[in-house]
Structure 1
Amino acid sequence: MEEDFDASQGADLLSLALGRQPGASDLDDFIDFEVYFDGTAHAEAEGQVVPFLQAQLCEVFSLLLKDLDQYLWHRDRFILELCLEEEPHLAGHLRIGDGTEDEWFVVHLLQQLTFLRPDVACRVLDADGELLLIEAALAAPRWVSPSNAENRCWLRKGLLHLLPRPGAGEAPELGRKEGLARLRKAGEESVARGKMQKAIQQRLEGYPKRALELSRHVVRAVMPKKVARLLLALPQLISVILDHLPTPPSRELLRLRRDLPDHQSALHLDCEALGEDEDTVQIGVRFTRLQYARLVSLRCQVPQRFARKRWKSPKGVKEPSEKAMQLGAMLCAGLEAAYLQGTQSATAVLRWREVPDSLPWLSDPDFRKRMSPELLQSAHSRRAYAQQDNLGEHFREAFLRAYHDPALEAMNLEAHWRDRDDPEDWLQVSQEDLDQEMKVRQAEFDHFDQKRRPRSAAKEEKVAPEELQQEVAAMGSKIADLLKGSSSLDGMEAEKARGAAASTGPGSESGSETDSEGSAEGLDVLGMEEDPEEASDDEAEEGERMKDYFSELDDQLETILDGELAAESAEADTAAGKTGMPLSSRHVKVHDSDALELDMHAMEHVLASFCSEHQLEPGPASLLLGELGLAGGSGCLDDMD
Structure 2
Amino acid sequence: MSQANFSSIFNHKNSRLPEDTVFFSVFPDFSLSPDHKPQNPETFSQLQSLHLQILNALSSYTANYIWQHEPFTLSASTQSACATCPTSSHHIPHLHGKLRYGDNLEDEWFVVFLLFETSLKFPNLSIRVWDTDGEFLLIEAAFHLPKWLNPETSTNRIFIRGGSLHIIPKNHFPSDPTLFDSLSYLSTHEDKTKASSSVQSAIKNRIQDYPDRAVKNMHRVTVRVPISVAQILKHEPCLISLAVEGFYDRDIDSMKYAASMERFLPNKSNDEIVEVSVLMSRAMYAQLMQQTFQAPKGYPMPPRSDGGYAAAELGMKIACGFEMIYQMKKRNGLEGKGGTWEVYKESLEKNGYFDGLLPGSKEYKRLMENAEDYYRKSSLHHRESEILSAPVRRIDDILSQPFSVDEFNGRDLPPSDDDSWLYNGEDELNAALSERQHEMEYYDMNHKKNKSKEEGVGPSSSNFDDYDLGDIAKSMKEFVDKMSSFEGAEVPADGSSKNVDFDVDHFMKEIESVMKPSNAASGDGDYDVDEELSSDMDLDDPEDSDIEEDEDEQKEFMSSYSDALSHELKSTTLDKSFVRADETQVKKDEGTSRELDDDEFTPVDVDLNLVKSFLGSFSSQEGLPGPASNMLGVMGLQLPQDDNKDK
**TM-score in same-fold range (> 0.5):** yes
2:576 is aligned to: none
The CA distance in 2 between the partners of 1:175 and 1:344, in whole Å, is 44
Question: 1:495/1:399 Cα in 2 relative to 1: closer, same or farther (>3 Å)?
Answer: closer
Task: Give TM-score, length-normalised by structure 2.
Answer: 0.57
**What secondary structure sits across from 1:67 in the alignment?**
helix
How far is the alpha carbon of 1:190 from its aligned partner? 2.4
The correspondence of residues 215-234 of structure 1 with structure 2, limited to 5 A, is 216-234=218-236
How far is the alpha carbon of 1:297 from its aligned partner? 1.4
Residues 431-481 of structure 1, C-alpha deviation per residue, up to 9 Å, x if partnerless? Answer: 5654444333211111111112211689646443534997289849x99xx
User: Quick one: which of 32, 35, 46 aligns to 2:26?
Assistant: 35
1:328 is aligned to: 315
1:17 is aligned to: none
The CA distance in 2 between the partners of 1:149 and 1:344, in whole Å, is 43
**What secondary structure sits across from 2:208 in the alignment?**
coil
1:52 is aligned to: 46
- Higher alpha-carbon deviation: 529-538 or 74-83: 529-538
Task: Give TM-score, length-normalised by structure 1.
Answer: 0.58
**What secondary structure sits across from 1:464 in the alignment?**
coil
Q: Contact (CA 8 Å) 2:167, 2:195: kept in 1 or not?
A: yes
Task: Verify: 1:240 aligned to 2:242, yes or no.
Answer: yes
Amino acid at match of 1:191: K
The CA distance in 2 between the partners of 1:416 and 1:96, in whole Å, is 34
Amino acid at match of 2:422: L
User: Quick one: which of 67, 73, 83 aligns to 1:73?
Assistant: 67
User: Quick one: which of 187, 192, 203 aligns to 2:206?
Assistant: 203
Task: Verify: 1:448 aligned to 2:443, yes or no.
Answer: yes
2:192 is aligned to: 189
The correspondence of residues 134-533 of structure 1 with structure 2, limited to 5 A, is 134-167=139-172, 170-214=173-217, 216-246=218-248, 248=250, 253-254=255-256, 267-270=262-265, 272-273=267-268, 279-306=272-299, 310-311=300-301, 321-342=308-329, 392-395=387-390, 397-406=392-401, 413=408, 417-418=412-413, 420-429=415-424, 434-453=429-448, 454-455=451-452, 460=458, 462-464=460-462, 466-467=464-465, 471=469, 475=473
Amino acid at match of 1:455: S
2:535 is aligned to: 542
How far is the alpha carbon of 1:116 from its aligned partner? 1.6
The CA distance in 2 between the partners of 1:74 and 1:390, in whole Å, is 22
Amino acid at match of 2:147: R
CA RMSD in angstroms, aligned pairs only: 4.4
Q: Contact (CA 8 Å) 2:77, 2:96: kept in 1 or not?
A: yes
**What secondary structure sits across from 1:39 in the alignment?**
helix
Q: Contact (CA 8 Å) 2:261, 2:320: kept in 1 or not?
A: no
**Count of residues in Structure 1 that have an aligned counterpart in Structure 2:** 432
The CA distance in 2 between the partners of 1:404 and 1:195, in whole Å, is 53
Residues 54-89 of structure 1, C-alpha deviation per residue, up to 9 Å, x if partnerless? Answer: 222122222112222121112222221122322121
Q: Contact (CA 8 Å) 1:105, 1:211: kept in 2 or not?
A: yes
Q: Contact (CA 8 Å) 1:244, 1:338: kept in 2 or not?
A: yes
The CA distance in 1 between the partners of 2:146 and 2:546, in whole Å, is 55
Residues 220-247 of structure 1, C-alpha deviation per residue, up to 9 Å, x if partnerless? Answer: 1111112112123222222222222257
Q: Contact (CA 8 Å) 1:67, 1:208: kept in 2 or not?
A: yes
Amino acid at match of 2:75: E
1:636 is aligned to: none
How far is the alpha carbon of 1:300 from its aligned partner? 3.1
Question: 1:544/1:63 Cα in 2 relative to 1: closer, same or farther (>3 Å)?
Answer: closer
- Higher alpha-carbon deviation: 450-459 or 282-291: 450-459
How far is the alpha carbon of 1:282 from its aligned partner? 0.4
Q: Contact (CA 8 Å) 2:226, 2:274: kept in 1 or not?
A: yes
2:122 is aligned to: 117
Question: 1:553/1:178 Cα in 2 relative to 1: closer, same or farther (>3 Å)?
Answer: farther
**What secondary structure sits across from 1:269 in the alignment?**
coil
Q: Contact (CA 8 Å) 1:241, 1:331: kept in 2 or not?
A: yes
The CA distance in 2 between the partners of 1:551 and 1:243, in whole Å, is 83
Residues 118-145 of structure 1, C-alpha deviation per residue, up to 9 Å, x if partnerless? Answer: 2222111122222332222323222221
How far is the alpha carbon of 1:253 from its aligned partner? 4.7
The CA distance in 1 between the partners of 2:75 and 2:159, in whole Å, is 20
The CA distance in 1 between the partners of 2:469 and 2:268, in whole Å, is 87
The CA distance in 2 between the partners of 1:272 and 1:468, in whole Å, is 89
**What secondary structure sits across from 2:22 in the alignment?**
strand
The CA distance in 2 between the partners of 1:61 and 1:286, in whole Å, is 23
2:135 is aligned to: 130
How far is the alpha carbon of 1:305 from its aligned partner? 4.3
The CA distance in 2 between the partners of 1:340 and 1:550, in whole Å, is 89
Segments of structure 1 that go 5 or more residues without pairing to the other structure are: 1-25, 259-264, 348-387, 480-490, 500-526, 555-641
Amino acid at match of 1:222: R
The CA distance in 2 between the partners of 1:174 and 1:405, in whole Å, is 55
Residues 171-207 of structure 1, C-alpha deviation per residue, up to 9 Å, x if partnerless? Answer: 5322221111111111333222322222222222232
User: Quick one: which of 57, 76, 83 aligns to 1:82?
Assistant: 76
The CA distance in 2 between the partners of 1:177 and 1:65, in whole Å, is 30
1:635 is aligned to: none
Q: Contact (CA 8 Å) 1:246, 1:301: kept in 2 or not?
A: no
Segments of structure 2 that go 5 or more residues without pairing to the other structure are: 1-16, 79-89, 335-382, 478-499, 509-519, 548-647
The CA distance in 1 between the partners of 2:158 and 2:394, in whole Å, is 40
The CA distance in 2 between the partners of 1:119 and 1:473, in whole Å, is 57
Percentage of matched positions with identical amino acids: 23
How far is the alpha carbon of 1:547 from its aligned partner? 7.0
Q: Contact (CA 8 Å) 2:232, 2:395: kept in 1 or not?
A: no
**What secondary structure sits across from 1:201 in the alignment?**
helix
The CA distance in 2 between the partners of 1:139 and 1:536, in whole Å, is 57
The CA distance in 1 between the partners of 2:319 and 2:37, in whole Å, is 49
